[in-house]
A and B are shown apart, each in its own frame.
Chain A
Amino acid sequence: MEKRENEKLEEKSENENEKVEGKTRVICVPPVGRCSSFLCSEAKPDAEQFQGALRELKDLRSQLHQAADYCENAFLKEEKKKMILDSTKSYICDAIVAVIDHLGTVSSKLELELCNVAKATQTEQKMDFLRQRLLMCQQFAVTAELATFRYREKLMHHHPQYLSDGQILKKYDSSSRVVEGSRQIKDSHGKEKFGLSGRFQHVETGTEHVMILPGQHGQPILVTPSFGLKGTHNIGGDDKKKMQHNFLAFLSKNRKKSR
C-alpha cells in the first residue's frame, strides 16, 4: 500500500514536470514517506520501536520544511502559478495524512511502553515477600525471647499469713475503686487457719492493685500482688511469735526475688 502510494506520488510529480514548459520543474520534492515501523514491529523491542517512530517524525518535520521552502520559491519564480498551486495543495493533503499516521504510531508505542509495568509489579511483589520473611524472623526471635523471659522454675506461692478480723475497713474516696469481699482464709489442707475469717478489700490505686487487710488494732495492712506486706501489725497471743517469724521469712524471700 505504501509503495503504491509512493509510486503514485512519483508519477504525479513526473507528469507535472512534463506539463511545465521550459527549464522549470514544478515539484521536485521527494514524496512524503509513510511510517515504516509497522513492518518490522515484531522483531524490535518496544523501546526501540518508540525511538524509531520518534526519529521518523523528526525526519518528516525537516522534510516538510524543505518542501514548503521549495514550493514558495517555485511559486514566486515560475509563471504557471496555477499548476504549482494545485501540486502544492495535493502535497499538503498527503503531508497531513503522513503526519497523522506518524503521530498515531508514536502515541501507540508510548502507550504500550507505559502500560507495560509488569516489571514494577514484579519487583513490588518480590519486596513484599522479602519483608514478610523478615517479619517472620523477627517474630520468631521475639517469641523465643519471651519464652525465656516468662518461664520461671519457682512459681509464686500464696502464703497463709493473712490476718483478718471482723473489723470493717474504712471506705476510701471515690478516686479509687473499692471492692468489698469476704473470704475464709484457709491453709493448704482446707481447714480454717488460726480461726480467721474476715473481710478484705481490694483497691485499685492507679495502675497498682493492693489488698487491704484489717489489722488487730484498727491498722489496715496493705498487701501488694507480690504479697509483700507493707505495714506492721500487732497480734496478741501465742501466735504472735510464729507470725513474726513467718513474716520475716516471707520478707527475705521477696527481697531475694526482687534482686
Chain B
Amino acid sequence: MARAGGISNPVNVGIAVQADWENREFISNISLNVRRLFEFLLQFEATTKSKLASLNEKLDVLERKLEVLEVQVSSATTNPSVFN
C-alpha cells in the first residue's frame, strides 16, 4: 500500500506537471495572439491617421479655393461695369 501510494505520488506529480505545461502552452498561445492583435491595431491606426491627414489636406485646399472663388465672384458682382 505504501508502495502503491509512493508510486501514485510521482504519477500524480507527472500528471500535474503535464497539465501545468498544457496550461502554460495555452496561455502562451493566447498571449501571442493578443500581441498580434495589438500589432494589427497599431498598424491600422497608423494607416488610418495617414489617410485622414491626406483627406484633411484635400479639404483645406478645397476650402481655400472656395474662398478665392467667393472673393472673385464678389468683386465681379460689385463691379458690373467691367462686363458692359
A117–B73 CA distance with the chains assembled, in angstroms: 27
**Contact between B83 and A137 (Cβ–Cβ < 8 Å)?**
yes
Find residues 28-80 in chain A having any chain B CB closer than 8 Å to their own CB. none
Chain A residues bordering chain B, tally (CB within 8 A): 21
A103 within 8 Å of B (CB atoms): yes
Give the shortest distance, in Å, between A119 (CB) and chain B (any CB).
10
**Which A residues touch B41, using CB under 8 A?**
103
Are B52 and A99 within 8 A (Cβ)? no
The interface stretch among A124-132, A156-164, A230-238, A240-248 is: A124-132
Q: Are A134 and B48 in contact (CB under 8 A)?
A: no
How far does the Cβ of A64 sit from chain B's closest Cβ, in whole Å? 12
| Contacting residue for B62 out of A85, A110, A123, A141, CB 8 A | A123
Q: Does B72 lie at the interface of the complex (its beta carbon under 8 Å from any beta carbon of A)?
A: yes
Which residues on the B side are within 8 Å of A92 (C-beta)?
30
Sort chain B's interface into a size bin: 20 to 34
Interface of B is mostly: helix
A96 interfacial contact with B, CB 8 Å: yes
Contact (A131, B37) CB under 8 Å given A114-B55, A117-B55: no
Contact between B73 and A110, CB atoms less than 8 A apart: no
Given A103-B41, A134-B76: A127 and B69 interface contact (C-beta under 8 Å): yes
When A and B form their complex, which 7 residue pairs have the shortest distance between CB atoms, in order from nearest? A141-B82, A114-B51, A127-B65, A134-B72, A130-B69, A107-B44, A120-B58
Known A117-B55, A117-B58, A137-B83; further 18 A-B contacts with Cβ < 8 A? A85-B23, A96-B30, A96-B37, A99-B37, A103-B40, A110-B48, A114-B52, A114-B55, A120-B59, A120-B62, A127-B65, A130-B69, A131-B65, A134-B69, A134-B72, A134-B73, A140-B83, A141-B83
Binding site for A on B (CB under 8 A): 23, 26, 30, 33-34, 37, 40-41, 44, 48, 51-52, 55, 58-59, 62, 65-66, 69, 72-73, 76, 82-83
